[in-house]
């Protein structure tokens, strides 16, 4: 069973707000000059911000934040965020892998940006909605 895909727009303004909230002001998240100097294709979103977007999707599917029991990902590819008014989009989808007898649902998550997977081995366990 597949869960509905959720799409999240990410702009440079989002990165600035996240940097302020997280305290992560690494210039790879705001300076094209610095990001390209260290070998990145441009400014990239914070990995934990990307993971938080997935968490928002999972919370929606679970019905509540406390329904999320376990959440693991590996970062596979950066989310490059252009310096324009549109930014980029992260699409999050999930497939139900297993529903256990003790009321847990295990999901395999896919998160993509520009058609490329940005997370690998993304798995979540939620309490099965009643």
Would you give the DSSP letter of residue 114?
T
pTM comes to 0.92
Confidence of residue 1 (pLDDT cuts 50, 70, 90): confident
Q: Per-residue pLDDT tens for 29-83?
A: 999 999 999 999 999 999 999 999 999 999 998 888 899 999 999 999 999 999 9
Q: Which CATH class is domain 2-127?
A: alpha beta
CA–CA gap between residue 9 and residue 87 (Å, rounded): 7
Q: Where are the domains of the chain?
A: 2-127
pLDDT digits (tens, 9 = 90+) for 103-116: 999 999 999 999 99
């Amino acid at each position: 069973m597949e869960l509905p895909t959720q799409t999240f727009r990410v702009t440079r303004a989002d990165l600035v707000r996240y940097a302020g909230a997280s305290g992560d002001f690494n210039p790879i998240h705001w300076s094209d000059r610095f990001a390209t100097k260290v070998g990145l294709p441009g400014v990239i979103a914070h990995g934990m911000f990307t993971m938080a977007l997935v968490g928002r999707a999972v919370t929606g599917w679970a019905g509540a934040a406390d329904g999320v029991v376990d959440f693991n990902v590996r970062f596979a590819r950066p989310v490059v965020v252009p310096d324009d008014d549109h930014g980029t989009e992260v699409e999050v989808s999930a497939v139900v892998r297993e529903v256990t007898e003790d009321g847990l649902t295990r999901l395999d998550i896919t998160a993509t940006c520009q058609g490329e997977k940005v997370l690998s081995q993304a798995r979540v366990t939620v309490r099965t909605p009643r």
